[in-house]
Amino acid sequence: MTGQHLTPVNMLARLVAFNTVSSESNLDLIAFVEDYLRGWGVASVRIPDATGRKAALFATLGPADRGGVVLSGHTDVVPVEGQMWTSDPFALRIEQGRAYGRGAVDMKGFCALALSLVPEFLARPLATPVHLFLSYDEEVSCLGAVDGIARFGADLPRPVAVIVGEPTDLEVVDGHKSISMFTTTVFGAEAHSSKPELGASAVHGAVLIGAEIDRLSLEYAARGDASGRFDPPCSTVHIGRISGGTARNILARDAAIQWEVRGLPDLDLDEIPSRLSRFAEAEVLPRFRATFAGFRVETVLDGIVPALGSSPGSRAETLALKLAGRNSTRTVPFGTEAGHFHNAGIPTVVCGPGSIDRAHKADEYITLDELAAGEAFLRRLIDELA
């Protein structure tokens, strides 16, 4: 069976044309990839989310009776609203050696390379298979790969290594921080500001909690990074938004703090929220419950991106270093889906063409030279696995 031959640029143009902003469905893109793979005689497994509006896709190239190397990429992209694009972000534009379009570098470029090389993977007798794994919602939660990973070793082969193709300039990345996102809500009681003893201000309580979050940020900055590998060299604690209250002369009924922790791989994910909870119990609640017994503080975990911890000498690391022609690994400051693979006990690295510095911006692009370098990287993978 002969399918459709598409160059990496042509495949990228097809993928960019699908508006897969995280708030939208990615099913049209998934259906296109299914049809493309079917044309080459490759079966795929669709892994839908709970709503049925989105899906991941898993396919195997080569022998299906053993685990292989996963090439992992996400299909969703960030919004374009409010950005000053000089051309349609969902129509690939080639100009002066650059391919412009939303997702061109983050990370439909890597997906396009893997898909365009399907005929070459199939033409070689691979001793170790290649698994294509396309996910969703990486840009908002990094949870779009989780259901598929849970099936590894059950009805899907358990891989021996994973390469997540986020843009790293083809540097081999074996570590990144975790991201934990929280909302702390303070519940008080309204009263006229002239008689504060008749209520309890949630905003005042939130200010104290916010100050403690700031103090923790300074403490963890001073604690530093024992590994010496991360930039910034510490776990960071950050407040992104504070809201609450109705008027200047009314004690606030409620207030909310949206904050995050970007933790080094050795940071216990419960450590900082537990410390904040103990602070609230000891320093905040007694003060405000003196005038309102129902005063309370609740912290909810809104989402988590697990850290990627290094596994020196793993199959993923040694393979990627060889393919990329590198002598050492490095870390990155951004989060990826790699931590989920790593937590499942599968050796994982992040390595893909292009620079993350161009992601999420107007006129996002990947250069044609970077695509060519990524293509050469994957062709070396074919040689290695054949």
How would you classify the pairing of strands 130-135 and 55-61? Answer: antiparallel
Q: Note whether 102 and 206 are same-domain residues.
A: no
Q: Are residues 82 and 145 in the same domain?
A: yes
Q: What is the largest CA-CA distance in the chain?
A: 81
Q: Which pLDDT band, with edges at 50, 70 and 90, does 2 fall under? A: confident
Per DSSP, which regions of the chain are E strands?
Answer: 44-48, 55-61, 69-74, 93-95, 98-100, 130-135, 161-164, 173-176, 178-187, 236-244, 254-263, 296-305, 330-332, 348-350, 365-367
Do 335 and 280 share a structural domain?
no
Over the stretch 94-142, which tens digit does the pLDDT of each residue have? Answer: 999 999 999 999 999 999 999 999 999 999 999 999 999 999 999 999 9
- Give the phi and the psi of residue 103 in degrees, each rounded to 5: 90, 0
Domain assignment present for residue 268? The answer is yes
- pTM of this prediction? 0.93
Q: Are residues 191 and 299 in the same domain?
A: yes
Structural domain contains residue 182? yes
CATH assignment at residue 238: 3.30.70.360
Q: Are residues 205 and 227 in the same domain?
A: yes
Average model confidence (pLDDT) across the chain: 97
257 belongs to a structural domain: yes
Taking only the tens place, the pLDDT of each residue in 21-46 is 999 999 999 999 999 999 999 999 99
Average pLDDT over every residue of 218-247: 97
Q: Would you say residue 149 lies in a domain?
A: yes
Buried b (16+ CB within 10 A) or exposed e, 55-80: bbbbbbbbeeeebbbbbbbbbbbbeb
**Residue 193 shares a structural domain with residue 169:** no
Co-location of 198 and 289 in the same domain: yes
- Asked if residue 294 and residue 311 are part of one domain, the reply reads no
**Domain boundary residue, one of 285, 305, 325:** 305
182-196 tens-digit pLDDT: 999 999 999 999 999
Residue 3 lies in a domain: no
Residue 1: its pLDDT value, please?
Answer: 55
In a shared domain, residues 104 and 141: yes
Residue 73 has pLDDT above 70, yes or no: yes
Helix 368-385 × helix 8-16 angle, to 10°:
110
Domain count, the chain: 2
Domain assignment of residue 322, given as a range: 8-175+307-385
CA-CA distance, 157 to 138, in Å (whole number)? 22
Stretch (H or E) spanning 188: none
pLDDT in tens, 341-385: 999 999 999 999 999 999 999 999 999 999 999 999 999 999 999
Domain match, 47 and 108 both: yes
Spatial separation of the C-alpha atoms in residues 228 and 233, rounded to whole Å:
7
375 inside domain: yes
Vertex 213 angle, CA 211 and 216, to 5°: 110
> Domain check: are 298 and 337 in the same one?
no
> From CA 234, how far away is CA 240, in angstroms rounded?
18
Residue 199, domain member (yes or no)? yes
> What's the average model confidence in pLDDT over 237-266?
98
Amino acid at 69: V
CB 304 within 8 A of CB 180: yes
What residue has token string 């193709």?
A: 165
Residue 264: per-residue pLDDT: 97
Q: Coil, helix or strand for 292?
A: coil
Q: Which of 305, 336, 363 is the last residue of a domain?
A: 305
Residue 286 confidence (pLDDT) above 90: yes
Task: Check: CB of residue 137 under 8 Å from CB of residue 22.
Answer: yes
Kindly state whether residue 183 falls inside one of the protein's structural domains: yes
* Residue 101 sits in the same domain as residue 149: yes
Cα–Cα distance between 182 and 299 in angstroms, integer? 7
CATH number of the domain within which 98 lies: 3.40.630.10
Length of the chain as a residue count: 386
- Last residue within a domain, chosen from 258, 284, 305: 305
Phi first, then psi: give them for residue 309, nearest 5 degrees.
-95, 150
Tell me how far apart the alpha carbons of residues 89 and 11 are, in angstroms, rounded to a whole number. Answer: 16
